[in-house]
Chains A and B, each alone.
Chain A
Amino acid sequence: MDLLRAIAIGVLFGIALYQLLRRNVIRIAIGLVILSNAVNLFLLSVGAYNGVVEAYAKAVGQRSDALPQALILTAIVISMGGFSMMLALLYVIASRYRTGDSDEVRGLSH
């Protein structure tokens, strides 16, 4: 289970970073969402330390730490706000530059 989770986090980070580095601004935004989800999964697995199991405690007597879950909730809310603001900015950029290619969005670089 630990291995599976570690692989999932790694794969998500890989996909996210790949998307972040692409030229299409929409893909960058998607990359950011995947990245924040990868971090959330990482935070979830952080709940397991010192004899405490993570969120899905199965056996009687096992405890899970509630704090990482609270952190994730906060992070989800904030990243949702961030994503919606990102989309709004992208809308302005796309309608102004008539392109979704980040190499052509360069009004400021001389």
Chain B
Amino acid sequence: MTNEFLVVLPILVPLTAAVIAIALRRRHEVQAAWSFGSMLTSLVFAVLLLADVWGQGRPLVFQLGGWPAPFGISLVADVLSALMAVMCQLVLAGGFLYALGCRDQCAQYPMFYPLFLLLATGLTGAMLTGDLFNLFVFAELLVFAGAALTAMSDDRFGAEAAYKYFYISLVASIALLLACGSLYVSYGTLNMADLARRIAADPSPPLVLPAMAFLMVFFMVKGAVMPFHFWQPDFHTAAPTPVHAVLSSVVVKLGIYGFFRMTTLLFPGQAELIRPVLVVAGAVGVWFGGLGAVGTYDAKRMLAYSTLGQLGFILVAIGWGTPLALAAAIVYAFNHSLLKAAMLMLAGSVASRAPVKTAAFDVITGVGKKMPLAGVLFLLGGMGLAGIPPLNGFIGKLMLFQSGVESQAYLPLAVIGLAGIVTLVYVMRAFQRIWWVPMPAGAKTKPYGDRLIAPAILIALSLALGLWAEPLLRLAYDTVAWLSVPEQYVRVVLGG
């Protein structure tokens, strides 16, 4: 077996496992064990892929069906793709672990685990593909699986949330198709490496700018960026905990990944047009998300708005576009995935102990008195989100502000710096409400709730990366070094 197969394995393993898991639907325990096992296998392959790509210092390319690059579909793993794949698989495995120990009815349904594996397939595939149309296919797979998982939620508004998510995602996919068409008529190819080469050679065709705009729309909807975020808070209020923990943390990173690819691979020449948009959308999103989170009535909804704000920081960093800022964006994205997934899981497990299963602050006031471990984890996670050491969040924010000073973007820096305080406000408010305020008289918590092992692992990982951050930082700097020479990527994919 050659190394190229490592690229396809993190996609192939969950896909095959999903099909087999459907066949195992009558034996729930067997199905759960099988699905979790294959999820971990796929995580191992993703880590091996990252180690290989990073260690050898070159992207790995798998040409599907043996067709050479611009004609067939290529799966490409450069350091960015591989890192994103590892991040997604890590959080997906965490979500899976949470689903195994959660008391939601929906996790008992025969289709829950297969759909979860398909979600993993779609997400990993979208990160690893080197072809725009293939990106559309994987993104659709992701949306279908995500919407179905949401619709089967225990919450009675699950179908409504799924409907909103599905509807806006389909419209976004149509924007991606329009971008594909515009680029195809301009350059006669959809392979990203080939496109990058041809766009660099001749950026004059009139449909290039519309294609950029459509791609931006697609990635902004996927990433729930400020003007396209309306599905997101509703969605998070009603989706099952393991599902929205994954969707809010890593699925939105598909948008971030897309902006990385757009500014460094596809349109480096036109990046000056994209970057100001990202800075403005990010800075507005930071405030909008932060203030939205302060004003909510529901812990999960609060964390959904908080995602908006945190993604704003990453977007601003991508918008600055200096090597340090890009490295900061990668570190920030990685630690936001871990922390946000853990925080949403903690909110979900608090909700599972509440008298009525909901995360509304009125109901979960004081519920945390019975769950001290969850309180410690929530406090740590909140400190990470706000960027207080010793968690990893501090390092991401420090790099971000350094890069802002370095690129002398003082206005956006001041705007997002102040917004960092808002993060602390809403996290502490939630913490006080759930863990400090006594329960209302007469209310009774349930004796058992969802298990805390998955958020504990994620927070521990984030703590470890905060105390020993060098590997992640080195990885981020190497990724940026790779991103700054798109010609290398193009050469490897197209061969020769």
Contacts and interface: CB of A to CB of B under 8 A. Distances in A.
A and B are interacting partners: yes
Contacts of B173: 78
B181 A39 contact: yes
B174 interface: yes
Interface stretch (B53-61, B158-166, B333-341): B158-166
Contacts of A81: 144
A59 interface: no
Given A28-B167, A78-B140, A107-B156, A36 B174 contact: yes
Given A67-B184, A85-B147, A89-B166, A107 B174 contact: no
Contact of B161 (A25, A79, A108): A108
B177 A43 contact: yes
A50 B163 CA distance: 41
B234 interface: yes
A105 B160 CA distance: 7
B48 interface: no
Given A32-B167, A68-B184, A108-B234, A92 B161 contact: no
A53 interface: no
Contacts of B157: 107-108
B148 interface: yes
A49 B185 contact: yes
A78 B135 CA distance: 13
Interface string A92-103: 110010000000
A74 B136 CA distance: 10
Chain B's interface size range is 35 or more
Contact of A92 (B144, B159, B182, B238): B159
Contact of B151 (A43, A67, A92): A92
Interface string B159-195: 1111110110011011001101110111010100000
B133 A74 contact: yes
A20 interface: yes
Interface in A55-110: 65, 67-68, 71, 74-75, 78-79, 81-82, 85-86, 89-90, 92-93, 96, 105, 107-110
Given A46-B184, A68-B184, A74-B133, A93 B156 contact: no
Q: Which of A25, A68, A105, A107 has the most CB of B within 10 A?
A: A107
Contacts of B163: 25, 86, 89-90, 93, 105
B140 A96 contact: no
B462 to A, nearest CB: 30
B166 A46 contact: no
A23 to B, nearest CB: 14
B167 A93 contact: no
A43 B132 CA distance: 14
B188 A49 contact: yes
Interface in A17-50: 20, 25, 28, 32, 35-36, 39, 42-43, 46, 48-50
Contacts of A20: 171
A49 B205 CA distance: 12
A108 B148 CA distance: 18
28 contacts: A25-B163, A32-B167, A32-B170, A35-B171, A35-B174, A36-B174, A39-B177, A39-B181, A43-B177, A43-B184, A46-B181, A46-B182, A46-B185, A49-B184, A49-B186, A49-B188, A75-B177, A81-B144, A82-B140, A85-B166, A86-B166, A86-B167, A89-B163, A90-B163, A93-B159, A96-B156, A107-B157, A108-B161
- Closest 7 A-B residue pairs measured CB to CB? A92-B159, A108-B234, A46-B181, A107-B157, A46-B185, A89-B163, A39-B177
Interface of A: 20, 25, 28, 32, 35-36, 39, 42-43, 46, 48-50, 65, 67-68, 71, 74-75, 78-79, 81-82, 85-86, 89-90, 92-93, 96, 105, 107-110
